[in-house]
Each structure stands twice: as C-alpha cells, then as structure tokens.
Structure 1
Amino acid sequence: MNKKLYPYLQHSHLLQYISKCKSGEILVGQELMKMLDKLLEHFEDPNIKIDFEGAHKRIKFIETKCRHFEAPFAGKPFKLELFQKAFIEAIYIFKIYDDEINKWVRKYQDVLFLVGRKNGKTPLISAINLAEFFIGEMGTKILCASNDYEQADLMFQAINAMREESPSLEKVTRKNIKGIFFGNPKRPKKKGKFSYRNKGSIRKISARTGAKEGRNIKVAAVDEVHELKDNSSIMPIRQALSTQDEPLYIELTTEGVVNDGYLDERLKEARRVLNGELDRPRWLIWLYTQDNEQEVWQDESTWVKSNPGLGVIKKWSYLRNMVEEAKVSKSMRVFVLSKDFNIKQNNAQAWLTPDDIQNEEVFDLEEFRGCFAIGGVDLSRTGDLASARIILMRPGDNKKYTYQKYFIPESKIEKLNKEDRNRFEDWIRKDLVVVSPGNENDFSLVTKFFVTLYQDYDIRVFKVGYDRWSAGYWSKEMEDYGFDTVPVRQEFSSMSEPMKLVETDLKSKLINYNNNPIDKWCLENTALEVNGKMEIRPVKVQGQEDKKIDGAVTLIIAYRVYIDNRSEFMQLVGR
C-alpha cells in the first residue's frame, strides 16, 4: 500500500480491510478486489475529499444503539465486523463537489450489495437505514421495498425490532400500520428533530404494487432484487429519489435463478463498470462472489469469498452440510450454488442424469391383480401429450411400480417433426399411446384407462390426482364411475416435495416404470425450476419447448397423492 495512505490507515476501516485483502489475510473474489482497487485510488484523487465523520457516526450509532433481535444473537449489541464497517465507509467517506448545487456531496448514491445468504445482509442494511433515520437530516423518508410484500416486511420488521430494543430510540418514535415516525404520544416533544414536527418516516412497499411515483424519499433499499423480472417496478422508486441532493439507493441480494431478469442485466452492467468498459462513477458495486465453481467443491477455504460472515454470522457446519447435500441432489445444487455462493444458475436446468433415469426392470401387470393403486393424470386438450398412470406397491417392498398410458390427438401427429413422428408411430404400434380422432384429446379415453384396469385386472384406484386447470368435465366423469379425484396444482408448494422424492427414488432405483420409453423420454426432457424458498417444480428444458414432460408430471402428481395419503394407502397395500 502507498505510504501516503499510512496516515489514513489507523483511522480507516476500509483501508484496513483493503490491506488485509491485498495481503491474503482475508480472501475475497476478483470482482470485489476490482472495486477495492478503485476505492484505493480515491484516497489520492485531488477531486475527491475524504470525510470520515458521517461514516463513523453511523458505525457508532449502530454499535451503541442497535441490538440484534433474532436468535442466537437476540438482545446483543450489533457489533459490526470489519467487512461491514468497510462497506459503510465506502458508502459515506468519499465526497465530490456538485457544481449544480454548489456543495460537497456523497460520491456514491447507488449501491449494489451482493452476498451469500445468511451473512447478515438484511440486518446490516436495516441498521444503516435506522442510522440514516436518526443521523440524517430532518424529514428523511426511507422506503423498504422488495419483489413481494412479505420480503419487504422482513427489512421493515428488522428496523422496527432494533428501534424497540433501544429505549432511547423507542421513546422518541412511534410505529403504526403505515410505518415508523418521529414523535411519541407517551413522551411528546413540542419541537426539534425528535418531535412530531419531523415528518420523516420509514415505510415498506412491495415492488409489485403501483403508485410509487410521487413519493419524495431520500433513502430506498430494495431487498432480493434477483426475483425481479425487469426494471418496471424499480424505476418509480429511483425516480422518487431524484429531488434529493444526496439520495441513497441500495440494492441487496443474493444470486437468483430468474433468467434474463433485472439482476442479470444489472450485473452485466456492474461487471462492465468493474472492467473499465462502462462509466458509472456514482455506483458502488460490492460483490461477494466466487472466482469459479470448481473452488466451491475443491477448497472450502475459498467459501469466504461469497460468505464474508462465515464463522461469525454463518456457521461453517451449516454450509458444509449444504454442500454435501448439493453433491447428490440437483435441486439442492442449484439452490446452494446460487444462494450460498452467488454462482448464477439457469432456472430450467436438466433435472436428472441418464444414470438416474436408466432402469430396464419390467413387470407384468398380472402380478398386481386385485391390488390397490394411486393414480395421476396430466391432461391436455391440444398441444402436449395427455398422460395417465398408476402407482402400485407390494407389502414389505419400498419399490413403486408404475404403469402408464399416453394420449395424443390424431392431427398433432402430422405436425411433429420427422424424428418425433417416427418415434410416436412406433409407440402407437406398441399400444403405449392412444390416438384421439380429430384435433383434441378425448378425455373419456383417459377415464377408460382406469376403468379397464379394474375390469381386466381388478386393480382398484384409491385416489387419482389431476391438474385442476385442465380437467374440465373429466373429474366429474371419473366421480360418476366411483373414482375419488384429487386436484393438484402444478405450483411450487404442491410439486416440490413429491418431485424431490421422485428424484431420490429414481436415484435409488426404487421406481420401476416398466422400461417405458415415453417415460424415459419425458424424464430426460424435464428440467427443474427453483424459487427462493428452495422449492422446485418441473418445467421444460430451456430452448426445448417442443419436447414433452407430461409423463414426469403425472409421476410427480401421483407422488403428491401418495405422500398426502401414505398411511391409508399402505394399509390397503398390506391387505
């Protein structure tokens, strides 16, 4: 480090942090290091004034007034780590002269903070917001936002919990359903910053809701921007900051799985800035990222690059367990790489490997004469295949045996490409696919599939799951025949648990799908989509929208019914 900077070194948390990163005492990724190099240059730039007062006032406020509100740190003072102090300094200490308003102002007004989950990002930004509320100028209005109201509320509640934990803060403020405000009716002050005359506020809002234009705010923090599809909900918030001399706009997030979303575009621009290809002098880009995926699996010491709070805020044992699970579960792998290591994951990646799917075991339906079964259907009037299947089990055997039939309109076959048409014509000859005359699937043929199982093999279907959005009259027709149908939505909440169990059972060779080639084809075509709650659901592989996944969907739907009725079904199996 340049000797000219030594006078600052003892006084600056940021310089101490940079020094330790440069020496290798603290490991950071290349992207953060590029930003730190830019900040280092600011200390020698004659056009930039270094002013520690605002940053250190906020650091002191956080450490003396704010307390944690969640276990295992609940009630304890908010003692900032070096990386957090360095981050706060980076926002506040650099000043540039603004010719338009003729005064020195904060250089960085736009902040992007990307860090692995469970590293305290929401509590940290919440504490900064609370500090702004009390230390900032009178009338400071702060907005907590996110893609949905629940996530925005997490930050708002974090701010409020810190406020309530401090008697000195609580006694000069009040909270109601609209937000947090100055002035306490129990301890009223007639004038001054902490009285009702201060019209400052802290509010929360979902980025999905409208009417954000016109809000004259000074500070806005948007949490989990990886969930945003575009900037349409962000721009009104940013425009609401435009009247301020020193606005502060913070985006905090982990990586996500939304393809071509807002964060993707934001990070492309950010990386161009870091590489010197784009000029955004007011943008602080603070990215905790890995340098490559291989180091995640090969060297756990590098995990701190995307998890700066590891060992203090986030437990090593927790992350080790997550990584071990990610080695054997595709859904966990997608979630862990994106959320814990900030490595972008496609939101429609292939779900299973060929080894997971491969199973040449077969069975004769006659072996299950007189047994009970669970059914699942995925209906499509036109377009995709319609699919119906049953799951059978034997007493004392964990293996699921599944028998299925597919349905397609006659006109659809003619529109298939040559490869798929040859494939379907072969399956039709083998009686694996039933053709409906005309342009639509005849759902009565699906009903006939279940009726025939009873008539020919005395197989009684206990319950049949179906996607309610495409069932139409079909479920009533089934009920007229005495079948118990159960609606299953193709949503994360419904599909995640059974999809994970199907994956585990396929890997363990506990699903005998009778070596059905259409099942194999559908499983190969199926991708998984992951949401922020680590829930998954089946989707088509991106770029392969013409491929069919209906067989995989019916298997997952049937598993949903199995999970929800396991005890009762297993009693029937044991009869």
Structure 2
Amino acid sequence: MAAYPNVNVANKYARDIIDGKIVACRAIRLACQRHFDDLKKSLDNNYPYRFDRDLAERACRFVQKLPHSSGDLAGQKLKLEPWQSFIFCSIFGWVTKKDKKRRFREAYIRVARKNGKSFFAAGIGTYMFCADGENSAEVYCGATTMAQAKKVFTPARQMASRLPALRSRFDISVWTDSLTRPDGSVFAPMAGKPGDGDSPHCAIIDEYHEHDTDHMYEAMTMGMGARSQPLTLIITTAGSSLESPCYDKDKEVKEVIEGITRNDRLFGMIYELDAGDDWTDPKNLIKANPNLDVSVKYSDLVELLEVAKQVPRKVNAFKTKRLNIWVSGKSAFYNMEQWKAAEDPDLELADFANDSCNIGLDLAKKLDMNAGIRLFTREIEGKRHYYCIKPKFWVPEDTIHTTDPKLLKTADRYQKFYEMGVLEATDGAEADYREILASIIDMQDENRIDEIDIDPAGATALRHQLEDNGFTVVDIRQDYTNMSPAMKELEAALAGGRFHHDGNPILTWCISNVIGKFIPGSDDLVRPTKGDNQSKIDGATALFNAMTRAMLHESSGGTSVYDEEDIAC
C-alpha cells in the first residue's frame, strides 16, 4: 500500500484536471495548477512554504474515521472523493518552512448544492476542535440563522455521538448545542456576531452568499489574533447579489488564482460553469458538481434541468443552487480566457519605437485611481493588430493607507498592486495631476506619442497643460457613441487574436470588471459600467479612449478594422 494514499489521490486529481481528463472549469484548472507551481517554488530556499505530506495524510485519515450521520450511508465511515482529498491535503499539507504552521489562513469553497459540503465542513471542524493540537480550540459554525449554522454543527455532533472511541480519545462531551473538552475547547453553532471574548481557532461560515454584510466574517477573523494557525473556512453556493460580501470574496479568490494579485494565505476552489457555457447542456453539470453520482445523482439533476427549461420562474434557482452560477442582470462583458490568451509578457516598448501610439487617459475621482494606457497599432496581413504595453496607474498615497471602513477592501487591493510595482502612489490625499503630467512627458523618451485621448470630464486643467507641452489632445466622451465601437472592436480583436498585452495585473482586473450597459431594447449600442464601487474599470475605459481613435487610423490593407468574422472565431 502506498505510504501516502490520500496525497497521491489528491495529486492525481489535480493532474487529471490540468490534463483535461476530468472536465472542470477554468477556476478549478488554475487552482490545481497553482498547487504544482507552488511545489516547484518550494524547492527554492527563499520560498517560505512547503508541502508536508505527513500532515496532509494525517488530516485525511482522521476525517475518514468519522461516520456518516444520516441518509443511506448512516453509520458508514466517510470516504473522501478525489476532489475532497485535494482540498483537505491543500489546507492541512501546506505549511511554513520556519515553524510548520499552516500556510492557509483562509479557504473558500464554492460548489453546487448537495455536493456534501456540510459533511465536509463538519469533518474539518471536528479535526480542528480536537485533533489539531490547539489548546482551548474554539470552533464556530456561523450563518445568518441558527438553523443554517446547525447544518454544519449537527452532522459533527452526530458523528461524535456515534463514535465512542472519538469521545474517549479526546474526552469529548456532547451537548445539545455544543461539543466541549476539559481544556476549554468548544465546537458550537453561531448566528450573528461572536462575543467580545471569543477567539476562534476555526470559523466556518456557511452559505456566505446569504450574508448581507461582512460583519460575521470580520468579527470572526478579528478574534483570531491570538491563534498561531487559525482557519476561516467559507463554504457556499452562488447567489444573486453582486453587492454581497460573498461576491466580493469570490472575485478576490479568482484574482489570486489568476495571478492578478498575490495572497499566499488564501486557498480557493470554485466549481462553476465557464462564461459562454450552455447552461441547458447536461454535459456541463459536472463542472459545478464534482460529487456527481456520489451524493448528487446525474439523473436527478437532468430532471431538474428539464423542469427549469420549461418553467422560467425556476431558472434562477436552478442556476444558483445546481449550476453554481451567480444570477444577476449584470454579467462580465469580456471573455477572460481570451484576454489571458492575448497575454505576451515579452512585449517591450523598444520594439515599437516607430509604431503609431495613442495614449488613453481616464482621470477618476480625486481620491481614486487614474489610468494611462499606451496603445500601439500595426497592420498584419491586412488586419489591424493592437498592442498594449506598460500601462500606467496612479492613486493618491492616502487612499492606499486609508482607515475608512468602506474603502478598506479597495485599499488592500491597491496596496498589493503597489507592492507589485504596477501602481504609482502620488503624494497627498488627492490625485496630483502634476505627477501624472510629468509621467506622460517622460513617456515621450520611451516611445513616439501620436495623440492623447482623454475623457474631458474633470480634466480641463491637465488637458491644457498637455497641449502647452506640445501634445495633441483629443476629447473622448464616454458615451454610447464613442464607447460602443471600441468595446466591440476589443471583443472582436480578442476573439480574432488581434489584441496583445503584456499581462499588467491592474489592466486585467479592470477588464474583468467591465459590464456592458446596453440602450434598452438594443443590442447594438453599449457602454462600460461596473458591478459595484469596488470593481474599478478605469484602465478599461482609458483603453477604450485610445482604441476609439486608433480605429480611425488609415489602414494600409483597406480592410475594415472592425472585422465581424473575428467574433465568430
């Protein structure tokens, strides 16, 4: 028998996902690839984390000694499916090289209903309650209602009740609404905020999409300060509010696994359909349901799918609960897989010294981010190609370090971008247009600038200063007339392989936030908008400003720059 059977199963699962042997969405493929990328990094002495197979195996062995508490399998031992083994091994196997404390402080699992996530969470909670080596461990199952909180706690309580050996080994007392141990450890459900004296070792937040605010999340995580290796476990399906803290956390996880931002302490697995997938096609069910034909039957899902196709009022419930799709009138405009495919990190300004260049400027609020996008154009085989290289982003220094509770999440993201060296901080509390002007003047030394395309709103002074310094400045109002052709041209160019960028993470983030707002009753005219105030699109709108003018450059090949056949590619 293999010395590390669960670790081997976990690694095989991840390899099969990457190799396409198991059908999965992009987010899951990236999460699995991250694991192997980090294994390679761990060989470097400067990388602070390593994978401990013994700790991963120990957690998996423990949970598989727990019994099912209900249903047809009641009394039988839990069996981790490959996808569950991968999650367990990742959470408990990755540790710091310095002291073997857990690397991941937070794990976010979004998966469709009936995939066994409550039993899965109950196993993690039980392990951390009694077998994690933490004195006076406090484990809480938090939800918006006590009934929901007990959906994780009750299976854990029943597991302990059914297993005398577990109670004896760890001296567990089973009560109606808690499990306790003599050292002060407690495992209990919780609705609302934890008390001031609570210090969670593990906080399980169930169905996070139902939370209107992040009060519970903040209170739970703030109380973990005294713990050396705490874990916040978020388990949820998709919901319908793009304003919810869950949706914001969802985006944060995707940014990490996409490589847009870095957070080595955050682990995430998101089982969902990809953009463009046909939700009515049964072959896509597996993407949101990794436990297909284990805890959720394929035939049952197909029946529910057929009902949803026939009864419109059931569509949204089926999409959120069974396909794990966020349901909203607001959906991303661009295909991010195409955007990723357009990335070329080898693009250099020096290679475009003699090419036509437009700079698109978007000047946001004085307290927020400003963007300057360099866009080059070339004609290749009669078609217009676009190259976006070394974009510039500026934000007031005080905004990065703000203590305003409403701006903390945005500020945290800005801080990460600043540390990555892709965001410039201007002095003071407001945008310093003098520094932005100086940056643009410096750009002339790097490449030719044909014109600067700027949204005139709030930019009168800078516009005049640019003209005084010899630049040709063109006003681009961000309305349907100007934005629609540029947005559609970018869509076509991405589909046709005519757009190329150097992978700047801020621009990637901005593009991913773009939501198309169409004139009511029309699919022809569209302009960019965003889902919420924290989803910035300044880089995207600056790009549209530049592209609006770049599209008008004379074409040597006589071919229309807006090529409809590209979209069909």
Q: TM-score normalized by structure 2?
A: 0.54
Kindly report the root-mean-square deviation, in angstroms, between the aligned alpha carbons of the 2 structures.
Answer: 2.6
How far apart are the structure 2 equivalents of 1:178 and 1:11? 34
SS in 2 for 1:284: strand
Q: Which runs of 5+ in 2 are unaligned?
A: 332-530, 532-569
The answer to whether the 8 A contact 2:7-2:57 is kept is no
1:53 corresponding residue in structure 2: 54
1:220 aligns with 2:216: no
Shift of 1:346: 2.4
* 1:319 equivalent in structure 2: 301
| Residue type of the alignment partner of 1:330 | P
The equivalent of 2:346 in structure 1 is none
Matched, 1:143 2:143: no
Asked whether the 8 Å contact 2:157–2:179 carries over to 1, the reply is: yes
2:77 — aligned with what?
Answer: 77
Which residue does the alignment assign to 1:159?
A: 156
**How many residues matched?**
325
> Any idea what SS the aligned residue of 2:157 has?
helix
Contact 2:10 2:85 in 1 (8 A): yes
Partner of 1:130: 126
* 1:13, distance to aligned residue in structure 2 (A): 2.8
Per-residue CA deviation, residues 137-170 of structure 1 (Å, 9 max, x unaligned), is 1322111111211100111101001111112123
Q: Which amino acid aligns with 1:89?
A: C
Distance 1:331 1:70 in 2: 32
Q: 1:200 aligned to 2:185?
A: yes
- 1:334 aligns with 316
Which residue identity does 2:160 align to in structure 1? Answer: R
Distance 1:21 1:250, change over 3 A: same
Contact 1:52–1:92 (CA under 8 A) maintained in structure 2: no
Residue in 2 that maps onto 1:470: none
In 2, distance between residues paired with 1:90 and 1:11?
9
The residue correspondences of 1:437-516 to structure 2 (distance < 5 A) are none
Question: 1:217: Cα distance to partner?
Answer: 1.6
Q: What runs of 5+ residues in structure 1 fail to find an aligned partner?
A: 1-5, 183-195, 350-541, 543-575
Q: Contact 1:258/1:347 (CA < 8 Å) preserved in 2?
A: no
Give the aligned partner of residue 28 of structure 2: 32
Match of 2:125, as an amino acid? Answer: N
1:199 corresponds to which letter in structure 2?
G
- Give 1:12 deviation, angstroms: 2.8
Q: CA deviation at 1:21?
A: 1.1
1:282 aligns with 2:283: no
Over the matched positions of the two proteins, sequence identity in percent amounts to 20
Local SS of the residue matching 1:249: strand
* 1:241-271 CA distance string (max 9 Å, x none): 1211101110000001234111111112222
Classify the secondary structure of the residue corresponding to 1:72: coil
CA apart distance, 1:277: 1.7
Distance 1:41 1:167 in 2: 42
**Equivalences for residues 185-264 of structure 1 within 5 A:** 196=182, 198-206=183-191, 209-264=192-247
**In structure 1, what is the Cα distance between the partners aligned to 2:291 and 2:194?**
37
CA contact (8 A) 2:17 2:32 kept: no
1:8: how far off?
8.7
Query: Does the Cα contact within 8 Å between 2:69 and 2:158 map onto a contact in 1?
Result: yes
Deviation at 1:37, TM superposition (A): 1.0
Aligned to 1:23: 19
Q: Aligned in 2, Cα 1:8/1:142: closer, same or farther, shift over 3 Å?
A: closer
Relative to structure 1, the CA distance from residue 158 to residue 178 in structure 2 (aligned partners, 3 Å threshold; closer, same or farther) is closer
Could you say which residue in structure 1 is the equivalent of 2:326? Answer: 344
8 Å contact from structure 2 (residues 160, 174) kept in 1: no
Q: Secondary structure at the match of 2:174?
A: strand
Q: Give me the TM-score of the superposition, normalised by structure 1.
A: 0.54
In the alignment, is the contact (CA less than 8 A) between 2:204 and 2:235 conserved in 1? Answer: yes
**How many angstroms apart in 2 are the aligned matches of 1:58 and 1:347?**
42
Deviation at 1:106, TM superposition (A): 1.3
Q: 2:109 is matched with which residue: 99, 107, 113?
A: 113
Higher mean displacement: 300-309 or 129-138 = 129-138
User: Secondary structure in 2 aligned to 1:314?
Assistant: coil
- Structure 1 match to 2:287: 305
Whether contact under 8 Å (2:126, 2:156) holds in the other structure is yes
CA distance in 1, matches of 2:6, 2:215: 44
Q: Whole-Å Cα distance in 2 between the matches of residues 249 and 219 of structure 1?
A: 6
- Whether 2:180 is the aligned partner of 1:181: answer yes
Contact residue 28 and residue 304 of structure 1 kept, 8 A: yes
- Provide runs of 4+ in structure 1 moved above 4 Å: 6-11
Change (3 A) 1:233 1:8: closer
Q: For 1:166 and 1:214, how far apart are their aligned partners in 2?
A: 31
Q: CA separation of 1:294/1:141 partners in 2, compared to 1, >3 Å: closer, same or farther? A: same
Contact 2:7 2:86 in 1 (8 A): no
Q: Which has the larger radius of gyration?
A: 1
Shift of 1:311: 0.8
